[in-house]
Amino acid sequence: MKYKAKFDIQNGAKLKLIKEKFTSYGLLKIDEIVILEEITHFPSRFKVKDNNGKNWILFSYDFEVLNE
């Protein structure tokens, strides 16, 4: 069995926030669902899109992967 790290996530995966993410342009709340667009600055930053179409940069400790 291969260990799956967070940087093995495929683009388009659904991620669930486990920490609030506050920036100058808004707030992502805990339990909000976002879609992974790409992993940037491998493997520490994840570019995601929320349900309003806004792009965000998350760290690996900000989310968990939803298994669907």
Tokens linked to 40: 């940037």
In contact, 16 and 44? CB cutoff 8 Å: no
Low pLDDT (below 70) residues in the chain: 1-5, 7, 43, 68
Q: Going from the N-terminus, what domains does the chain have, and what CATH number goes with each?
A: 6-65 (2.30.30.40)
58, containing H or E segment:
strand 55-59
Whether the model pTM is above 0.85: no
What is the Cα–Cα distance from 37 to 21, expressed in whole angstroms? 17
Residues in the chain: 68
- The neighbour count for residue 29, using CB atoms within 10 Å, is 10
The reported pLDDT for the residue numbered 68 is 60
